[in-house]
Chains A and B, each alone.
Chain A
């Protein structure tokens, strides 16, 4: 008579309190994470007089700041430059890194492991070590002030992307590519017809990372296009808006930076799974 199965414990007393405490904690953290974004959004709707005074709520609401950004800086042109840089760098990175990752995971050749070590080393090399001679090189061939120093290198393979793609490629069973090889398919054909279709999510993740990197990149545009007007990208231009003599242009800065990050947020919500899985991948496999 005593072996009656225990009923599901009702949500009372300590357990209920625990649950409330957990959620309260989670909400508190969420507020911390959202506060800076909230303040940015609200500031973008304030009048010049109100912005920067510590007011938390716009009164009156000023919807004109987003339009004013286009007068305060050549936002359209800078946006176009940023889009060109990010789009071409993404294409270049993916197109040039996929074959290398394939060679490192599927082709058999002497020195493969040593070459992989070189890729790892290139991944850890600080940009500062290469930027001084590259600056000299680019200025010799007249590339300073143009988008070329940002875009062209991406067409020659990116160590981090190669590393990530290789890790993904290794998870594809060898039998599949071997079967195609036995059927007489050439390596390029195997890559295009077997490997790429099977690793499309991974390639998407690498493409997204490349896009984000270019969109957010500050260091390279600052060095190579920073002082020119025509090659300016948004990341650098935003910081110069902050310095361009407007004593108090917080509302313009915030409006401009919201327009700058909006495409990224849209991308994030569209491809959230790719992002989160890609990041988990970098950590676990790294």
Chain B
């Protein structure tokens, strides 16, 4: 879209330029540097203070034994923090495993669910906007409020298990059972997949009906039509959903923090982050615990840098790999 507009602008400018040449009409020239600086200055200052400085400082901290709030002199320890992470920290590896579990399970499942709900919406003609509003509504609920709702809903003796009991199923312990706690979080993620659903349904409704009609004439079945028409059309959305989901899940924090902290009423401290049985100890919650509960700032900084590198690497790999399967309408790309 953006490129089309720019291209149209260029041709117009080009058409106008030739006759204007004789009258020496001024070409849109470079803006004066101080005007540019004026427009950029708040952001440049912000970038330096709230992004650039902290990124560099985190790298520096990660090479020291710095502990925020302690009067102990800061000592340079080289790669010791990283060595500890890789060789001596069970909690670190546990948090990595838990986070990868979420990346591998939650991200694709959520994408498929968004696709499915979008498909349901495109099938219905009358009342489509009502259904869309209802499906989208939970996405507006603040994460904290949503998590608290699910704690009530998924209480082992709570409403959902009661409903399941009515149909003869004895429900699991959900958030209080280490085997079920992560799947329960996935369930919660499905509940708030409305944003992605909206984008999917827009892409699906954009597909020209004639394509399906032509496929019908050729005798294509529903599966074939999905594979050859729908899937290419929505592949940019799948890509977008997986990529943003990936980045989000690497930093997954609030849901896990609230659920761990609030679903066990007995505890009142951050020591129980990861409850039950550390099954909800994710990378970011472990980082928070090390950095802001134990104030091992240097150690947590090393974790932060590793997270940064991991996200960067995975994003690059993902973008490269996706070139093969993402189909952009509009030709060259």
A contact residues vs B (CB 8 Å cutoff): 22-23, 25-26, 29-30, 32-37, 39-40, 43, 51-56, 96-97, 99-100, 102-103, 107-110, 115, 118, 122, 124-137, 139, 153, 155-157, 162, 167, 170-171, 173-175, 178, 181, 187, 212, 215-216, 218-219, 222-223, 235-236, 238-239, 242-248, 250, 253-254, 257-258, 260-261, 264-265, 268, 272, 275-276, 279-280, 282-286
Contacts and interface: CB of A to CB of B under 8 A. Distances in A.
Interface of B: 1-2, 5-6, 8-9, 12-13, 28-31, 33, 35-36, 38-40, 42-43, 45-47, 49-51, 53-55, 57-58, 61, 68-69, 117, 120-121, 123-124, 127, 131-138, 140-146, 148-153, 155, 157-163, 191, 195-196, 198-199, 202-203, 236-237, 240, 244, 247, 250-251, 253-254, 257-258, 261-262, 265, 267-268, 284, 287, 291-292, 297, 300-301, 303-305, 307-308, 311-312, 315
A175 B16 CA distance: 11
Given A37-B149, A218-B254, A239-B148, 14 more contacts: A23-B124, A36-B138, A36-B149, A36-B153, A40-B153, A97-B43, A128-B308, A131-B291, A133-B53, A242-B148, A260-B144, A268-B140, A283-B237, A284-B236
Nearest to A133: B57
A97 B43 CA distance: 8
A46 to B, nearest CB: 10
B5 A171 contact: yes
Given A126-B308, A170-B5, A171-B1, A239 B191 contact: no
B153 A132 contact: no
B258 A218 contact: yes
Nearest to A110: B30
Contact of B68 (A139, A219, A236, A279): A139
B262 A239 contact: yes
Of A126, A131, A222, most buried by chain B (CB within 10 Å of CB) is A126
A181 B28 contact: yes
Contacts of B203: 284
The 9 closest A-B CB pairs, nearest first, are A156-B46, A157-B43, A283-B199, A133-B57, A130-B54, A257-B145, A242-B262, A103-B39, A54-B162
A33 B138 contact: yes
B33 A135 contact: no
B42 A130 contact: no
Nearest to B206: A284
B197 to A, nearest CB: 10
Q: Which of A26, A102, A279, A286 has the most CB of B within 10 A?
A: A26
Contacts of B51: 122, 125, 130
Contact of B46 (A99, A153, A275): A153
Contact of B142 (A25, A127, A216, A253): A216
A149 to B, nearest CB: 10
Contacts of A39: 149, 152-153, 159
B70 to A, nearest CB: 12
Contact of B240 (A26, A30, A283): A283
Contacts of A215: 142
Given A264-B140, A264-B141, A56 B162 contact: yes
A107 B180 CA distance: 54
B142 A261 contact: yes
Nearest to B284: A128
A124 B251 CA distance: 11
18 contacts: A36-B149, A55-B159, A100-B43, A108-B29, A109-B33, A126-B307, A126-B308, A132-B58, A171-B5, A173-B8, A216-B143, A218-B143, A245-B268, A250-B152, A257-B149, A261-B141, A268-B140, A284-B236
A265 B134 CA distance: 12
